[in-house]
Structure 1
Amino acid sequence: MKHALIICAAASALALSACQRQEAATNDANPGQTAPVNAAQDAIGAVVGETSAATMGATTGGFVNAAAMSDMYEIAAGKMAQAKGQSAVVKAFGKKMVEHHTAMMNGMKPMVMAAGEAPPTELDQRRKGMLDNLTAANGADFDRVYLAQQVAAHEEALTLMKTYGDGGQNADLKAGAMKAMPKVQMHLDEVRKLQMG
């Protein structure tokens, strides 16, 4: 069932990408992305991410990869929020995400190295697409898109930490995941309140 969901989401993302390229090719005034396509990509990405976190979080390599991607995305998106955010609360939340996720990533490094794993050094295409969608959003739309992405990203991170914390093979990484869970939950609770206004 999970594989069918991922395949369906991937097919939808490809179709949306094709629509976006076709629309961009026919609209010279807006050669970049469009808000409806970006919103659909982010929604599909959230489903794929949640499913991926529940499956990838079951293995040490998958957990390390996904946790590093999560932190790298949060840091990049947080920097963007500080620069492009319209409201003071979005800018402040972005700053907090840079600080907290840098600390979380640095805290996990010794455990990752001790486990003999190598974290990725760059973002995957899904998260690069999320950042592209943030780049394309301007004004009040930026704040709305950023907060929506933050809810999805923290739901995914919480699932990842819980999955590995419950059944991970490496005791140190498992403890690290359990330690990270309350902070990720706090971020999720905070961003949901910000989203409600």
Structure 2
Amino acid sequence: MRPIWISAAALAAALGFACAAYAGPGYDDHAVEANAIASMTAADYLAAAGRDDVYEIRAAQLAQTHANSPEVRSAASRLLAGQKTEEAAMKRDLELAGMGDIPPPPLDDRRIVMLGELQAASGPDFDRIFIEQQRSAGEEALALHRGYARHGQDGVLKSAAHHAELMAAKRLSLLDDLPGA
């Protein structure tokens, strides 16, 4: 009997096809995402954005001291500065909305694992993992902020989310110039 090997990409494609087929005709994943974000409360949005910020800040701090290449260390400093700017703008918007200062939420298990992977890596592996994780986290943040800016319920937070969307896009573009990106 011959073993059957299925690549992760083939499996993901098959599962994606199966999920789309199961969802039926007219299934639109963008509409599902928009509906999920539209039903997101201000507190849910702030918690998701806060978790994302905490992870990206901690990862950038690690990269400032652990990155192999000077380009990655420099990018980490710029990413960290961008996060701090975004955080200050969000705090200002929250004060204007009368929401006060909201403490950052604890990291979820997935982000804790991601930070553990970074801490365990060294040399070029650290740089590669950092870039991959930052791209993934940045794309998630971009989708979150864009989604809330377009479909959120709170007007002040929608404006803040739009600003955060622009900042997230700028941080993502920094990764494009890195070696191996």
Residue 106 of structure 1 corresponds to which residue in structure 2?
Answer: 88
Identify the structure with bigger relative contact order (alpha carbons < 8 Å, sequence gap 6+): 2
Whether 1:189 and 2:141 are equivalent positions in the alignment is: no
Normalising by structure 1, what TM-score?
A: 0.67
* Counterpart pick for 2:46 among 45, 57, 64: 64
Whether 1:153 and 2:134 are equivalent positions in the alignment is: no
CA distance in 1, matches of 2:50, 2:83: 10
SS at match of 1:194: coil
- State percent identity of aligned pairs: 33
Whether the aligned pair in 2 keeps the contact of 1:77 and 1:131 (CA below 8 Å) is yes
Q: Deviations over 1:65-93 (max 9, x none)?
A: 01111111111111100000011110011
Q: Deviations over 1:22-65 (max 9, x none)?
A: xxxxxxxxxxxxxxxxxxxxxxxxxxxxx999845733122100
**Gapped regions of structure 2 (runs ≥ 5):** 1-11, 16-31
**Aligned-pair CA distance for 1:195:** 5.3
Compared CA separation, residues 52 and 141, structure 1 to 2 (3 A): farther
CA distance in 2, matches of 1:67, 1:117: 14
Compared CA separation, residues 190 and 181, structure 1 to 2 (3 A): same
The 4+ residue runs of structure 1 with deviation greater than 4 A are 51-54
**Aligned-pair CA distance for 1:119:** 4.2
Whether 1:82 and 2:64 are equivalent positions in the alignment is: yes
Q: Where do residues 142-181 of structure 1 align in structure 2 (5 Å cutoff)?
A: 142-181=126-165
Please identify the structure whose Cα radius of gyration is greater: 2
Normalising by structure 2, what TM-score?
A: 0.72
CA distance in 1, matches of 2:101, 2:82: 22
**Aligned-pair CA distance for 1:164:** 0.4
Compared CA separation, residues 195 and 171, structure 1 to 2 (3 A): farther
Compared CA separation, residues 119 and 160, structure 1 to 2 (3 A): farther
**Gapped regions of structure 1 (runs ≥ 5):** 9-50
SS at match of 1:183: helix
CA distance in 2, matches of 1:54, 1:104: 26
CA distance in 2, matches of 1:119, 1:63: 13
Q: Where do residues 24-103 of structure 1 align in structure 2 (5 Å cutoff)?
A: 55=36, 58-103=40-85
Compared CA separation, residues 52 and 82, structure 1 to 2 (3 A): farther
Residue 127 of structure 1 corresponds to which residue in structure 2?
Answer: 111
CA distance in 2, matches of 1:117, 1:167: 24
Which structure is higher in helix share?
1
